[in-house]
Amino acid sequence: MKNEFSFKIDRFTGGPVETHAYLVTLPEGNLLVDAPEGAADYFRDVPIDLLILTHSHFDHVMDAAKIVREKKCGAAMHRTTEEHLADKMLNKRFGLPIEIEPVKATIYLEESKQQNILGALFEIFEVPGHCPGSICLYNEPATNLSSQSTDVANCGVASVLASSSINDTLSRCAPKAPGTSSTSATLKPGSKILFGGDVLFAGGVGRWDLPGGDGKLLIDGIRKKLLTLSPETRVLPGHGPETTIGIEAKTNGYVAL
Ligand SMILES: [Zn+2]
Ligand SMILES: [Zn+2]
């Protein structure tokens, strides 16, 4: 399979903790990475062929079932993510009065050097520690296109990390008009891209104090699997601004070597 293309990436940011979803145009269809609240409405007129969930936290999956139903698209995730989504009490145990509609996987994603996703080859990394079943997706197209890049204001990673509970995070990151705040941006097309979920952020890493979290596992996984990618690899995280592996390897106090 050829991997010589550059894909278009649109970013939607929505939900109570300003979570990013990435719409990626691939050779055989449109991929949506994560499904924060508001994503189904935002992408109402856009065909989506596959939804990938990076992990099971509520802010990444709130619109997942709606999107799968309305778009009649497949859903790809780690087996653990599917199990979490089927657990109606999961978010109540986090202290959140939220019930997420379960989504069944049509494709299970696990550690893999070459996973064909809509005609593109991705490397899948399992990086638990923030959440069991967390995955990152890496793609290395051979060519680039130039385009404009826009960054949006967001809920800083530091505030996510510093919070002692999701409720704290919710209050710190609450949008001005709850439930209606969303932003979007068209990002530069693909060139060594890592969809990082909540594993690695600009200047931070995913919090590990929630149930199922493990800081050592997280840091070890990031160092072994992600920081070994080329420095120019762009990291598109689940929250906050885009960064690169090179910047994080040098300056990120949590994981810098
Ligand atoms: Zn998370
Ligand atoms: Zn998140």
Domains and CATH numbers, the chain: 7-251 (3.60.15.10)
pLDDT at 28: 92
Residue 182 pLDDT: 67
Kindly report, residue by residue over 191-207, the tens digit of the pLDDT. 799 999 999 999 999 99
Rounded to the nearest angstrom, the distance between the alpha carbon of 236 and the centre of ligand 2 is 13
With a pLDDT cut of 70, the percent of the chain lying above it is: 80
What is the reported pTM?
A: 0.83
Spacing, Cα 112 to ligand 2 middle (Å): 23
Residue 163 has pLDDT above 50, yes or no: no
Cα(33) to centroid(ligand 1), Å: 13
Statement: residue 110 has pLDDT above 70: yes
4 CA from centroid of ligand 1 (Å) = 32
Q: How many Å lie between the centroid of ligand 2 and the Cα of residue 1?
A: 33
| Ligand with smallest separation from the Cα of 240 | 2
**Cα 8 to chain centroid, rounded:** 17
Distance 2 CA to ligand 2 centre (A): 33
Average pLDDT, the chain: 83
DSSP letter for each residue of 222-248: IIIIITTS-TT-EEEESSS--EEHHHH
Give the ligand whose atoms come closest to the C-alpha of residue 160: 2
pLDDT (0 to 100) of residue 208: 96
Segment 83-90 long-range contacts (CB within 8 Å, at least 24 positions apart): 83/133, 84/56, 84/132, 84/133, 85/56, 85/61, 90/56
pLDDT digits (tens, 9 = 90+) for 126-144: 999 999 999 999 998 643 3
Is 54 in contact with 197 (CB distance < 8 Å)? yes
For residues 44-72, give the mean pLDDT: 97
